[in-house]
Amino acid sequence: MQRRRIADLEVNPIGLGCMSLSHGYGPPPPREQAEALLLGALDEGVDFFDTAALYGFGHNETLVGDILSPYRDRFVLASKCGLHGVDGKRVMDGRPETLKWSCEQSLKRLRTDRIDLFYLHRWDKTRVPVEDSVGALADLVRDGKVRHIGLSEVSAATLRRAHAVHPIAAVQTEYSLWTRNPEIAVLQACRELGTTFVAFSPVARAFLTGKLRDPSLLDAKDLRRGMPRFAPETYAQNLALLPAYEALAAEAGCTPAQLALAWLLSRGEDVIPIPGTTRLDHLQENMGATRLTLSADVLDRAGALINTTTVVGDRYAPASQAEVDTEIA
Ligand SMILES: NC(=O)c1ccc[n+]([C@@H]2O[C@H](COP(=O)([O-])OP(=O)(O)OC[C@H]3O[C@@H](n4cnc5c(N)ncnc54)[C@H](OP(=O)(O)O)[C@@H]3O)[C@@H](O)[C@H]2O)c1
């Protein structure tokens, strides 16, 4: 499959989300496993790695820096600011001075002198005009510390305001068969502005792999425990969608995860999914989606089986929902 563009950079159509190596879905894997995963990813052709100051409150950037910095010229490195840990607590702070400080911390942890794509993880909308946060990131571009600016979970209107300050190379937002919010307006705005769309949680945090059958068995600290769609009764209703979806994947000669990724890849050459995994066999399976050629009929049927009218439950609980732009609720 043809490589995809983020501004003047070119990457494999599927990247790697590194979050779960430090944070999110239960205890992080042992270091040897994380190392094998990251180095194995390079061998599999992954050249776009996604991390954030938030993930493990610096642990994830440190891990990526420790393991991948010897190969720094072989990949596009994305990280995020605006959400980080302070004294063990998650803090949102989009003030210009904080973002510049956060960039310095990220550069040190990542063992690099430049971050290729630096996102504002959330717009600190009650305190800081987005123009001010993006202005700080533009200063970092001028200083040579950051190559391109991205935004995460913003509406089309916020993207346009930010883009007027400095070109926005990428928007990162949840997008998959079961989360279609970007289809409302953000994707269209990205296309008008030449902004690449990076799809996070592209296999629906494991739902679309068919491997997560019982969310009541998830670790007590697993983020999915607080998400309405993963509440046991709701999830049971969503599970009822899977047999037909799994049968469609089998008919198409691929796995359910690959069908989910192939569907995203078919949304446009400006869409780049970043599935996360702690396992090399899962990573290999996911990368296999770039080698599939599925018919429009199969892709349409996947979209008809799993979509906002068939899936039950909100994607976020109210506290997390309050942090995102209303238009992409
Ligand atoms: N900007 C934001 O606010 C934001 C929010 C969330 C995530 N992200 C980014 O997006 C990345 C991906 O999102 P995500 O990790 O939330 O969701 P995801 O990629 O949709 O799903 C990850 C989950 O699916 C499982 N999985 C992945 N591939 C699999 C396969 N082939 N077979 C079976 N299970 C599989 C993983 O478990 P295993 O480890 O067992 O494979 C993990 O539990 C993150 O790493 C992060 O970089 C960004």
**What does the pLDDT look like over 59-72, one tens digit per residue?**
999 999 999 999 99
Q: Is the pLDDT of residue 208 over 70?
A: yes
Q: Give 258-298 pLDDT, tens digit per residue.
A: 999 999 999 999 999 999 999 999 999 999 999 999 999 99
For ligand 1, atom 46, name the residue with the nearest CA.
17
Q: Is the pLDDT of residue 328 over 60?
A: no
What is the average per-residue pLDDT within 86-110? 97
Confidence (pLDDT) at 154: 96
Domain ranges of the chain: 4-213+267-291
Residue 55 annotated among the catalytic residues of the structure: yes
Residue among 38, 34, 29, 81 at smallest CA distance from 58:
81
Q: Give 5-21 pLDDT, tens digit per residue.
A: 999 999 999 999 999 99
Distance CA 24, CA 307 (A): 24
Provide CB contacts within 8 A for 206, sequence distance 6+: 25, 212, 224
In order of 4, 35, 50, 316, the CA distances from 93 in angstroms are: 32, 31, 20, 21
Confidence (pLDDT) at 324: 80
Ligand 1 midpoint to CA 19 (Å): 8
In the structure, what pLDDT confidence band is assigned to residue 171 with cuts at 50, 70 and 90? very high
Q: Is the CB–ligand 1 distance for residue 276 below 6 Å?
A: yes
Distance CA 26, CA 212 (A): 14
Confidence (pLDDT) at 326: 65
Q: Is the CB–ligand 1 distance for residue 23 below 6 Å?
A: no
Write down the pTM of the prediction.
0.97
Residue of 14, 16, 19 with the most ligand 1 atoms within 8 Å of its CB, for mutation:
19
> Quick one: tokens of 328?
């992409």
Class of the 4-213+267-291 domain? Answer: alpha beta
Q: Is the pLDDT of residue 189 over 80?
A: yes
In the structure, what pLDDT confidence band is assigned to residue 216 with cuts at 50, 70 and 90? very high
